[in-house]
Amino acid sequence: MANTFLVKKWIRGETIISAAAPETQLWSGLNGIEPCKIHGIATTAISFRRRVAGRVLGNARHNPLAAAGVVLVVVFVILALFAPWIAPQDPAAINLPARLDTPSRAHWFGVDELGRDILSRTIYGARISMLVGTCVVLTSLALGLIIGSIAGYYGGGIDRFVNVVLMNAFLSFPGILLAIAFVAFRGPGIFNLVLALSLGGWVGYARLVRGQVLAAREREFVEAARALGASDLRIIVRHILPNIIQPVVVQAAIGMAGAVLAEATMSFLGLGVPPPTASWGAMLNDGRAHLFDAPHLVLFPALAVMLAVLSFNFIGDALRDYLDPRSRIEAGL
C-alpha cells in the first residue's frame, strides 16, 4: 500500500510543496533536511532553471548591447580555441596565381597579396589577440593589485613614493611608446609583447586599487579583524580585496579592449608576433599598400578589431551599470 505525503523544501527562502506521490522516493537525512521525493527535486530544479533563464533574458532585454558583446566575445573565444578545425585553409599556405582575388565562394573573405586565405588568417588572428589581451590584463591586474594594495594599506612614505614618484613616472610617458621601446630593445615575440604592454598597463589598476584600499582600511570590519590579531596579509587578502573587487573587474573588462587594440597597433608597426603568424594588426599592415585596388585586405581584419574592442567595451559598461546599485534601481533590475 502506497503512502503519500507532502514534501517541503526551502530554496533561497522559498517554500516549494510537491504533489502527493507514491512511496518511490529519495531519502536524505543530511543536515536535518526532510525527505525529498524525486518528483519534488525535478520540479525544484526546473523552476530554478526557469528563474535563472528569466533573469538572464530580462537583463538582455534591458541591455541589448551587453548581450551582443557577450555573444561576440563567445564567438571570438570559440574561434581562438578551435581555429585549426574552423579555418577552411592553412593560413600560411601561399597561392600566387590567386593573389588579391576578391571574396568568392572558394574564399569568403578573399585572398591577400601572397594568395593566403584571409578568412583563415582572420580566424587565426583571434588566437593572438585573445591570448595577448588576456595575458596583458592578468599581468597588469596582478601588478596593480599588489602595488596598489601595499601603497593604500600602509600609506605614509610608501604611499608617497608609489603614488607620486613611481606612478607619475610611468604616466609621464605614453604606454604605447614604452611598449615600442621595450620591444625594439628585446625583439618581437608574444612574451616580449605581453611584457611591453603590461609595463604601462599596471598603473591604472594600481591607482584604482590604492584609492579603494585607502577608503576600505578604516572601515569597521577591517578594524575588527586587526583587533582580533589578523596579519596584514590576511586583512588585505581576506577582508579588503573581496570588498573592492567590483570596480577592478569593470576596469579589467574595459582593459581587455585596450589590450586588443594595443596588440593590433604593435603588430601593425611590425613589433608584434613575427610572420608568418597571422595577426590582425599585421594583416592591416600588409593590406595598406592595396587599400584602393584590393580593399578587402584591410576591411575584414579592421572589422574584427572593431568588433572585439566594441564587445569588451559593451561588457565593461554593462558590468559597471549592473554593479552600481543606483544604476540597477534606475534600470529596474
Query: How many angstroms separate the CA atoms of 300 and 10, rounded?
Result: 53
- For the domain made up of 67-331, the CATH class stated in words is mainly alpha
Residue with grid cell 561588457, as numbered in its chain: 315
Query: How many angstroms separate the CA atoms of 63 and 40, rounded?
Result: 35
Can you say whether the dihedral through the CA atoms of 155, 160, 165, 171 is positive or negative? positive
Let me know if 117 is exposed, middle or buried by CB neighbors in 10 A (0-12, 13-18, 19+).
Answer: buried
Are the beta carbons of 282 and 269 closer than 8 angstroms? no
| pTM (global) more than 0.85 | no
In DSSP notation, 247-281 reads HHHHHHHHHHHHHHHHHHHHHHTT-SSPTTS--HH
Q: What is the pLDDT of residue 6?
A: 38
- Per-residue pLDDT in tens (0 to 9) along the chain, 333 residues: 444 333 333 333 444 444 444 444 444 444 444 545 445 555 655 554 555 444 545 555 677 888 899 999 999 999 999 999 999 988 888 888 888 888 888 889 989 888 899 999 999 999 999 999 999 999 999 999 999 999 989 988 888 898 888 888 888 888 888 888 888 888 888 899 999 999 888 998 999 999 999 888 888 888 898 888 888 889 988 888 888 888 898 999 999 999 999 999 999 988 888 888 889 999 999 888 888 888 889 999 999 999 999 999 999 888 888 776 655 555 555
Residue with grid cell 506521490, as numbered in its chain: 21
In the chain, CATH 1.10.3720.10 sits at: 67-331
β-bridge mates for residue 26, sequence order? 36
| Cell of residue 250, nine digits | 569593470
Residue with grid cell 577582508, as numbered in its chain: 239
β-bridge mates for residue 74, sequence order? none
In DSSP notation, 299-315 reads HHHHHHHHHHHHHHHHH
